[in-house]
Amino acid sequence: MLVHALIREDGTVAADELYTVANTLGMSDQQVRLCVKRLVAEGRFTHEGRGRKARLHATEDTTRALAPNADFLRHAFHQDAGLAPWDGVWHLVAFAVPESARTARDSLRETLVHLGGAPLQGGLYVCANTWEPYVEEAAHRLGAHDALTLLTTTDLRRGETQEPAELARRLWPLQEIADRYHRLSRIAQPRLALLTGATELSPPALLTIAVELAAELTRAIEPDPLLPPQLLPQPWPGTQARELIARCWAALHEREQGESRPALFRLYADITREAAERTAR
């Protein structure tokens, strides 16, 4: 996460910056060296130079996957602003992948959960959002598209449970997801105070705060199915946490002073600013 978070818009990571931020976060130089070695061996980066004067170059695949959750984060802010109300439609995916393709089957299951799906029965998953393009892209990539069945319904029942909010409570681990957002808020609040205070913060200090926020945001949002507000307990802690994060990104952006920042942070700042502008309109 640290290495990916520090990729600049030209696709490079400066080793000196990487070691400095890692040390501030309590990581040793040896940990960084081993991580870089593994990333290069996996073909995610190329490497030039030595020690703290080295520079990493992200490969095309790494650059493309820099912010895989960008669409979902954008959708979350739209939900928070009331711009993505639920239409009452449940989206279902069924699949039957043979044992001979177990790896593809397991990867498809993991992908469906990552996209916000919950299992109903063996090989049958449900989501409250329009996820078909993402599901089909993953299935094509895994060679399992012919095994998919896609359908939608407004009449979903599990046993005697039919009320949508109660179904959501039974299908997704909402308390665990809420706890992650409570943690994100606890992390964001003191950092927002630092960013909006009068204390001068060095570039490495700003990068460290940004990496900490990005890591906690990822920890919170990756397992979140981004259920519509109509299906969630209110007030929902995810809304408050994302509002704090948006203020942090705005404060980080104000402190840029024309300096080049990592692409991931610029992307997050653009998403939160876009959501604020749409809400204002």
Instruction: Supply the pLDDT for residue 218.
Output: 87
pLDDT in the model for residue 280 = 67
Q: How far apart are CA 193 and CA 149, in angstroms?
A: 49
* pLDDT for 188: 96
Check residue 162 and give its pLDDT. Answer: 96
Region for 193 from its dihedrals, namely left if φ exceeds 0, alpha if ψ lies in -120 to 50, beta otherwise:
alpha
Q: What global pTM score does this model have?
A: 0.85
pLDDT in the model for residue 2: 83
Query: What's the pLDDT score for residue 258?
Result: 59
- Cα–Cα distances (Å) from 9 to 1, 27, 225, in that order, read 16, 25, 29
**Helix/strand/coil for 18:** helix
User: Which pLDDT score is estimated for 215?
Assistant: 86
Residue 189 to residue 77: CA distance in whole angstroms:
18
- The per-residue pLDDT for 111 is 93
Residues of the chain with pLDDT under 70: 64-69, 257-261, 275-276, 279-281
Please name the residue ranges forming H helices in the chain. Answer: 2-5, 15-24, 29-41, 60-64, 70-80, 102-114, 132-142, 164-171, 174-196, 203-221, 237-254, 263-280
